[in-house]
């Protein structure tokens, strides 16, 4: 079975190298949507036989959906430049794509069908796979505060599409979903400066969407939503168990939440 990997880049030289090394030999087609890299990213991608699609920077979901429409693989794996496929996941996907069977994740009893009702289905053929995430803060793995989850990242062409959110876009699947055991290592929080810059950008993009939807600003949103986010991630979701790194992450999400509404007030 033919596998296409899609990824977005923009001056991602230091990040994307590790991602490319983690999937080298796994894919048949590598489609990269690049938004004007000038740091050597494009030269590196060519060494990994990437097909580069030049895109304007903007809505991540729309950019990924454009690549999905261009993909020629039977199956599509969606990755970000700060993600790495674990050796275990590599072998599971490799086994899957080189076998006539399409069920190398968990047992059939774990499969779910979405839509229509999310009920267990052990008969219909699986068309997508969830993959667990292992997130890192400043190079240290974190396990609480909402940072342990899985996402659909591998799906059969024609059975999945990317949602239209400006950030945190999801793959919407029509069919049965199974799950792999191997993980994606996600290095999204690499330094305090990088996190603050990233969350400022996210807050701005979300504020623009809220403005389009004519959402209003209130005192509660300006002064309470941020602290509530910190409480939810650090206390309710036990981010304190990750110590200093959990605190930094909770404060960062609170900063983004509050900033979103302050930006909405002025844009």
My answer on whether 143 and 12 are in the same domain is yes
My answer on whether 201 and 112 are in the same domain is no
My answer on whether 181 and 224 are in the same domain is no
Pick the residue with more confidence: 164 or 43? 43
The pLDDT value recorded for residue 99 is 61
Residue with the two structure tokens 């261009």? 70
My answer on whether 178 and 107 are in the same domain is yes
The pLDDT value recorded for residue 31 is 98
My answer on whether 143 and 234 are in the same domain is no
Give yes or no for a contact between 177 and 114, defined as CB atoms under 8 angstroms apart.
Answer: yes
Measured CA to CA, the distance from residue 119 to residue 130 in angstroms comes to 16
CATH of the domain at 114: 3.90.550.10
The pLDDT value recorded for residue 125 is 87
The pLDDT value recorded for residue 105 is 40
Q: 169, 188, 207: which is the final residue of a domain?
A: 188
My answer on whether 207 and 141 are in the same domain is no
My answer on whether 171 and 253 are in the same domain is no
Band (pLDDT 50/70/90 cuts) for residue 59 is confident
The pLDDT value recorded for residue 168 is 83
Report the chain's C-alpha Rg in angstroms: 19
Which residue intervals of 10-82 are DSSP H helices? 13-23, 41-47, 60-70
Measured CA to CA, the distance from residue 225 to residue 239 in angstroms comes to 18
Q: 156, 188, 220: which is the final residue of a domain?
A: 188
Question: Reduced to 3 states, what is the DSSP secondary structure of residue 107?
Answer: coil
Give yes or no for a contact between 167 and 260, defined as CB atoms under 8 angstroms apart.
Answer: no
Query: How many C-alpha atoms does 67 have within 13 Å on its Cβ side?
Result: 30
My answer on whether 157 and 200 are in the same domain is no
Give yes or no for a contact between 50 and 7, defined as CB atoms under 8 angstroms apart.
Answer: no
Domain count, the chain: 2
Domain boundaries, position 69:
3-188
Q: 188, 217, 248: which is the final residue of a domain?
A: 188
Measured CA to CA, the distance from residue 71 to residue 2 in angstroms comes to 10
Instruction: Give pLDDT tens digits for 64-99.
Output: 999 999 999 999 999 999 999 999 999 999 988 766
Q: Which residues contact 190 (CB under 8 A, 6 or more apart)?
A: 82, 138, 139
My answer on whether 30 and 92 are in the same domain is yes
* pLDDT of residue 117 exceeding 70: no
Cβ-based burial of 107 (10 A; exposed 0-12, middle 13-18, buried ≥19): exposed
Residue with the two structure tokens 């939440």? 257
- Cis before 116 (ω within 30): yes
My answer on whether 235 and 139 are in the same domain is no
**pTM as predicted:** 0.87
My answer on whether 227 and 118 are in the same domain is no
My answer on whether 220 and 122 are in the same domain is no
* pLDDT of residue 219 exceeding 70: yes
Question: Reduced to 3 states, what is the DSSP secondary structure of residue 15?
Answer: helix
């Amino acid at each position: 079975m033919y596998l296409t990997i899609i990824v977005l880049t923009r001056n991602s030289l230091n990040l994307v190298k590790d991602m490319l090394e983690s999937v080298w030999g796994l894919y048949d087609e590598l489609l990269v949507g690049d938004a004007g890299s000038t740091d050597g990213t494009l030269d590196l991608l060519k060494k990994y036989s990437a097909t580069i699609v030049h895109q304007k920077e903007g809505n991540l979901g729309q950019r990924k959906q454009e690549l999905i429409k261009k993909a020629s693989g039977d199956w599509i794996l969606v990755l970000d430049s700060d993600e790495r496929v674990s050796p275990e996941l590599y072998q599971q996907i490799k086994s899957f794509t080189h076998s006539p069977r399409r069920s190398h994740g968990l047992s059939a009893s774990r499969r779910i069908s979405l839509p229509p009702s999310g009920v267990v289905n052990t008969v219909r053929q699986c068309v997508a796979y969830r993959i667990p995430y292992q997130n890192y803060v400043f190079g240290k793995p974190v396990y609480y505060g909402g940072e342990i989850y899985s996402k659909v990242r591998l799906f059969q062409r024609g059975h999945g599409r990317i949602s239209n959110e400006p950030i945190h876009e999801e793959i919407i699947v029509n069919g049965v979903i199974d799950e792999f055991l191997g993980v994606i290592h996600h290095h999204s929080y690499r330094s305090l400066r990088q996190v603050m810059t990233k969350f400022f950008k996210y807050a701005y993009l979300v504020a623009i969407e809220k403005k389009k939807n004519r959402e209003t600003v209130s005192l509660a949103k300006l002064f309470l939503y941020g602290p509530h986010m910190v409480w939810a991630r650090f206390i309710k979701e036990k981010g304190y168990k990750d110590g200093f790194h959990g605190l930094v992450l909770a404060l960062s999400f609170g900063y983004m939440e509050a900033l979103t509404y302050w930006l909405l007030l002025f844009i």
